[in-house]
Chains A and B, each alone.
Chain A
């Protein structure tokens, strides 16, 4: 019916979408109705009865009225029952029922809130049982968590027996036909497995939270698991690890911590983006970001357009790291296939903090500290600089003249300024306050937190970047434990005022003899001609890039247990971000010798997205095993819009932030896009005795990013795990092996990170009016067949625990192949355009090993020492690319080599006679002016992925004192810092001291070729060639002491005296030491002329009241 509706309304796709919304609203309404019903029907479980010779059906009605239990029976069964006489008051219903049925030909069982009445077991069954020597009993009990809340769905089974059951929403269970002297095993995810002797009434059984990290809860796609039971490859980082690091972007806290996850920090500017990649580059031309999910809701990590000098702002920088409870990194097919088309690059699941039941408490955390730019580049002093300049000018056959060498003629060559120190040598302030109140009762828990964070820059004039955020969570469970609701919202406000450019880049390379940047009266010298460097970087004190971003993340998770086994739920999320930028150039910052006017550039960027994911889960435990089935659907819509407007000609600085006051306004661009996505997904998990586990995942995806011909696609995976340590033969013989699991998975995922509308035949506004009419021109050739890039992931892993899991070792091997690459294919211009977007059969292979080792080295009394180590070694390779010759990638990619490897010149050395860099030409002769087309004969190492990388953390704790440090390491190829600058040494800029000792005269054996200051010199040509040679690639491996944290928690008796729950003081350091052979600057950033990642020292305290 609905389908018909859609077909009739072919044009009205949006109407169809509205209809779906309507359906969803209706579903929600339906849910609410059920909830209301449930609340109304929640009565006490105690019953009072006073009946004499009453028909049993009447008694059912009375109990039903009082306790809210439904009775399900067939009239014929009940007819056989004897009249009832009972006199009891305020007694537990279960006891009442026992008495009621004790002498009847009928029996009963409790299913949820229903009492199911059936005829008593027949004799033959009894006879069979009586063959056994022991008596059968009915075991009942109630399972609760550590806070006395009932746990529904806990597995209760007879050890080495067949009987199995699960607890209901009140935690109650019943096992029938249990041998009297058998053992009952109770297990629940995240709790220690408990074994108890079977008795008929076991009372309340309180489970303990799992201490073994194998049993700690891990968040996975649409659910939870533990490392013990997980078939997929999921790594988790917890709040504790994050809290040890004074970071503003949570990605920084993950660097080096997770095998397979490569994070590279960009620059030290606040808000800068991080490179994030899971298991190598999967795509030649398109995005390779992982899929981010916050509390079950996808988080769109589109870099917000911004005029910030740090480049686009990373949306994750708006999430307060302190609000995060845990992060799961999903890597293999089993873990990711259920995310289908979006998880080819892996997924990162962020779970925020939730309120917990218990006394309401207030947590306060205050951190303050400083950040420094590591001043690890030593620039030439004036003497060395002047020497270099003179040589350069002489080498070019020129004489020293003011026109091109004011630094030698006009400036005072005895003057020296350390511009690195001047521009980036200041301490940036770091301040962070977190306050939260949380608590609640058994049914409702809440958490409300507020945070304020402030960070300034290392520049000579300090501007701060404050961020304020609130985080709110309310969780409610209905009295009968069947309905659960969790509402989470986070809102952050960030505003930054930064200089328009990275001053490190702008200023550190100034000639060291440059005159003062200030006038005699202390004001900034703005007369560029006077300074020869226009503009004076100090003018950026006024020329600012301002950004303010507000971001809302909200989600609602609902679930309702229809029966003990069946649960209906939904994740609903809404995110919104608004970013306003302006880039102001006031008149006061401009050279007054020109009559210039002020200008401003206004940029706005808005995104919003909503998602709804209804889900149904079904779980069943039988003697033949346990199944969990999940089916669900996704509806998602993202919209973004933005514009960039230049306003010029301001004659007054006072009005410069008013766009209307500008005499000339020009719209640079406007953008508005929409992305729609929908899916159906399912997962079937089967496990037998938690020993053999099989997972099947499936997803059918539809995305608006693809052409009409290919909008729908299926993805799936199969995974299996085998707990071989549970096999009797191993248990009996390898007693030192406490845990052993083999797992493997294979499946497909896709990547739709290709931008919106790429398939469509669109006309865009080219910005040039014709006869006053805005003109539109075609954007390119449409391709209605565009579809997903597809990745096939294969993984096997082994996980071992020794000595009661004190040593945990995991090793994984992965083998991923990404094909159907979305690239452009060259076309003849006769088609109107030179290329078209097309899926090409290029295949990229990523394969590698990942290891983690977690050990408890010492655990004696008050002292413990834990170590955690991880290592990743991956290899990326372009496996095949049929038809590469007819693509723009011919000549830049080579089959058999990793992405990021370039065809380059074969570098020889500095020729002692000519003083120029030399290369081996294709003809076998050395040349300093190689031909780009023919002489590139060797492939460079790839800079895209390290050979191996990882980290090692050690935590020592003694009583209240805890010391931890984290080292990360990387074996990688980087860019040769000697060849990073666009211009070779000798031009007017200062350069690092490593450039001294250049070739001077024939016969010199030197590492640096002759200096030059001319773009037409042979030395310049040779320098440019060197940049495209294998000499431009050097080892950039390093070991870094990334984090050091020392914390002291007050001992409990003091805390009690102070009426505190917890009190802790701490010192933390970030990016403290780097050991590397990389000579100039930071081996991670590999660009000494930009602001490197900062070094941080903070101190703080946290208290809980």
Chain B
């Protein structure tokens, strides 16, 4: 190469400066862009999770598996055991640990809140549901059918969680977004508003879901493990019942009963099986699951079978005498849904609704909504003047009694007697199942007399009844973390 003679001194240097300056300017401006790393391949970012059907399906599966894994799926601190301990259903072996004991003796306090994580789990599920509810409508990649399905499901889940929150705690913070900065300091919302939200969510879900049970891809499924419109109706019927809106309760329960999708099984041992025709909504367990339901794991290994019931017993729960004695002679539910074991001359009864401990595959699923309840909901609404009135109520009670191998209702036809019969039927049909007994006692106002009067249930358990115990206290750490959150009245 021939070298050149430059007439312009330093032009090379100048050029380099310009080039370098350009390079660094480019570098400078692209700095910020460059550091935006895409989310990890093994994660989905919130931005993308509701962007298409498949990812949204995974997030919805996340909601159900969260339910199944934690307190909504059962077990210690779950929806059956904690309220069962509070009410007159579960007896506790004396050596059981502290958390169960305070619940059992109705001696809860801010420093001794109820065992388990129901509060935490509810709000975690509500967070997930809120993420879905807030993101799905604006999703561009999801199809309309799946959007409707998932939005309906998420609204239903949110309502289901608030149902338990409002019943356990009374006024609770009503969280409808995922913005933690805003939510972290929310105060309690009046329970009336929470109920309004529950009903509004369910009404919206009614319009979004169909009667057919489907899977996450919208394809018809033989399992009843995602809520359909009847599940929404069933929960709505219950919500109206709790709010003494008898006519709407009757209407919604009738919707379920008239849907023709469910049957009351005459073989009681089949009721809690996976895919049971009596299941309005169950939670699926993974097919490779070694163990069946967590409630089953608690009850099917009662204290005596395990280690003589020492202080370390992991399964110190059995059925209270009150509950055992509530069954009428010949009640198949006592035969098929109650089992017993005798240790040192004492017979302990334990629930036997879930009958198998081991899989795989699991043969039983946690029951979230059951058809039989709808008869009792409608009966109660009718007994209070809705629908066909007292005769209708008796007919519905008899449907349940007939299946239990009992004679038809033969008591007087006055409202009080019929309502008492309904309460009794609820006690023995829905025992130790998703807290029905505890919530029934509370909503009917029976709680103070059943638990409270001298010699009554609370005293039997070794506690002293105080009416404030109807609602559960919130843990101190929650109050500390949210300065606007107040303790449950009375605590």
Contact = CB atoms under 8 A, between A and B. Distances in A.
Contacts of B33: 6, 13, 16-17
B416 interface: no
Given A773-B61, A828-B482, A760 B184 contact: no
Interface string B217-245: 00001010110000000000000000000
A27 B20 CA distance: 10
A756 B47 CA distance: 17
Interface stretch (B76-84, B117-125, B455-463): B117-125
Given A2-B30, A674-B37, A829 B58 contact: no
Given A633-B24, A762-B44, A771-B221, A829 B34 contact: no
Interface in A31-78: 37, 40-41, 60-61, 64-65, 68-75
A859 interface: no
B41 interface: yes
B35 A676 contact: yes
Contacts, number: 263
A466 B65 CA distance: 46
B39 interface: yes
B40 interface: yes
A781 B128 contact: no
Given A702-B32, A703-B35, A763 B42 contact: no
Main secondary structure of the interface of A (DSSP, over half): mixed
Interface string B36-69: 1111111111110100000101111110111011
A765 B34 contact: no
B62 A776 contact: yes
Given A23-B26, A773-B61, A774-B61, A635 B40 contact: no
A719 B160 CA distance: 64
A201 interface: no
A33 B4 CA distance: 16
Given A23-B23, A771-B284, A680 B65 contact: no
Interface centre among A6, A763, A829, A833 (most CB of B within 10 A): A829
A677 interface: yes
B180 A832 contact: yes
Contacts of B183: 830-832
B9 A768 contact: no
Given A765-B42, A766-B62, A704 B123 contact: no
Contact of B41 (A672, A776, A779): A672
B127 interface: yes
A830 B175 contact: yes
Given A566-B16, A778-B131, A832 B178 contact: yes
Contacts of B221: 771
Given A562-B12, A674-B37, A827-B180, A712 B124 contact: no
Contacts of B62: 763, 766, 775-778
A254 interface: no
B7 interface: yes
Interface in A874-932: 885-886
Contact of A568 (B4, B20, B27, B47): B20
A678 B61 contact: no
B46 A829 contact: no
A675 B37 contact: yes
Q: How large is the interface on B (under 10, 10 to 19, 20 to 34, 35 or more residues)?
A: 35 or more
Contact of A27 (B9, B23, B29, B127): B23
Nearest to A116: B9
Nearest to A670: B42
Interface centre among A756, A761, A831, A834 (most CB of B within 10 A): A831
Nearest to B477: A826
Given A831-B123, A832-B127, A762 B43 contact: yes
A614 interface: yes
A1067 B480 CA distance: 64
A774 B58 contact: yes
A72 B9 CA distance: 6
B61 A680 contact: no
Interface centre among B35, B42, B64, B482 (most CB of A within 10 A): B35
A831 B184 contact: yes
B440 interface: no
Contacts of A114: 6
B391 interface: no
B61 A775 contact: yes
A782 B180 CA distance: 9
B289 to A, nearest CB: 9
7 contacts: A71-B5, A71-B6, A674-B37, A680-B24, A760-B45, A830-B183, A832-B126
Interface of A: 2-3, 6, 13-14, 16-17, 19-20, 23, 27, 30, 37, 40-41, 60-61, 64-65, 68-75, 114, 116, 562-563, 566, 568, 614, 616, 631, 633, 635, 641, 670-680, 700, 702-704, 711-712, 756-757, 760-766, 768-779, 781-782, 826-834, 836, 885-886
- 3 closest A-B pairs by beta carbon, nearest first, are A832-B127, A704-B37, A775-B61
